[in-house]
Structure 1
């Protein structure tokens, strides 16, 4: 049984899009949602009010993530959103407190969220309405972000707070460390005959290997 009212007819296309999207890969799903072709959006991820989402190139959205863009949501390029992460841009708190939590309540509050470029948002993170996360920030898994996050910082906890700040020199040293280690692992894997087609091979690779 389907309702034939304004709200149902407005929501139906998004419901059908999500249903069809479950049978696609992450790149096909991004195209279906009208996202940049370099975007990868995994299964069960949901975008609320997709017309209000601005997202840059080369972003990744994990399984089960919910991106509420009803109040405006901007995600910069090369940013990853972890699995089952929740981003809120609206709140019905006051509507609940006053027993006015009906559809179309004028006590729904909306505030935009901005997530900068080059950010890593871990899994199971909650980002509250009105928050700005600066460029190149890292949010550790299971964190609740209730206030702005400075650029080039690592935050964690509930509520999330800054644990580390890093500059370009630190990132460059980490790039060198990881690339050197991955090169070593690939060379060892090739000797074993199991080199991966890309990235670094899995498994234990001790310095003595």
Structure 2
């Protein structure tokens, strides 16, 4: 697992967090309990500190980094979508950052906010709680009513459960050459897909 101490600072990962074997942690990185750190995620604490608080999800190929003047803080229950880049910003609790979004230095995103996919949040942006943030450059489009905030990640959140499932049963293996009869489904409950042979 690629985890590296840097200038005497060793990454810290709570034992209830799932850290994928291809994720990379460098230096001053602190990850709290119940988190899911996905394949290819890179968390680099070589200029400043990277903190991921409890029950957060940092998905595949995300990059979390800092400048020498600001830390990168991901609040409790946040979801960072596939391919997103967070650089020296601060996210409050239960923020959802959409896929391939970029949030830059000193941006401060309030609790229960949603950054739409493919958004560019410029440096120093301040967004209050329950903001819908979208665009390039991103702007606060509107306030999200409290009852519409469906992505909060409590102890039974989808990625908190996936972290537990992955800790219990992720195994490196060789691929099969064909789909076996009666193939099961992941316990997450995705809808069934029928496999057919190509003619």
* TM-score, normalised via structure 1 length: 0.56
Pairwise CA distance, 1:43: 1.3
User: 1-side partners of 2:143 and 2:192: how far apart?
Assistant: 29
User: 1-side partners of 2:66 and 2:82: how far apart?
Assistant: 17
User: Match of 2:31, SS?
Assistant: coil
Pairwise CA distance, 1:52: 1.1
Pairwise CA distance, 1:85: 1.1
Say if 2:24 and 2:42, in contact at 8 Å, map to a contact too. Answer: no
Alignment of 1:1-12 (within 5 A): 10=6
Count of equivalent residues: 140
Using CA pairs under 8 Å that are at least 6 residues apart, name the structure with larger relative contact order, 1 or 2. 2
Q: Which position in structure 1 is the counterpart of 2:64?
A: 67
User: 2-side partners of 1:72 and 1:78: how far apart?
Assistant: 18
Say if 2:66 and 2:105, in contact at 8 Å, map to a contact too. Answer: no
- The structure in which a higher percent of residues are strand is 2
Pairwise CA distance, 1:138: 0.3
Pairwise CA distance, 1:167: 2.3
Q: Deviations over 1:154-199 (max 9, x none)?
A: 1111011122322223448xxxxxxxxxxxxxxxxxxxxx997445
The correspondence for 2:119, drawn from 136, 139, 143, is 143
User: Match of 1:52, SS?
Assistant: strand
Alignment of 1:71-82 (within 5 A): 71-82=70-81
Q: Which position in structure 2 is the counterpart of 1:27?
A: 18
Pairwise CA distance, 1:121: 0.1
Alignment of 1:1-209 (within 5 A): 10=6, 27-29=18-20, 35-49=31-45, 52-70=49-67, 71-89=70-88, 113-146=89-122, 147-171=125-149, 197-199=187-189, 201=191
- The structure in which a higher percent of residues are helix is 1
Say if 1:79 and 1:117, in contact at 8 Å, map to a contact too. Answer: yes
User: Match of 2:127, SS?
Assistant: coil
State the 4+ residue runs in structure 1 displaced beyond 3 angstroms.
Answer: 28-34, 169-172, 194-203
User: Match of 2:112, SS?
Assistant: coil
Pairwise CA distance, 1:126: 0.9
Structure 1: tracts of 5 or more residues without a match: 1-8, 18-25, 90-112, 173-193, 204-209
RMSD (Å), alpha carbons? 3.2
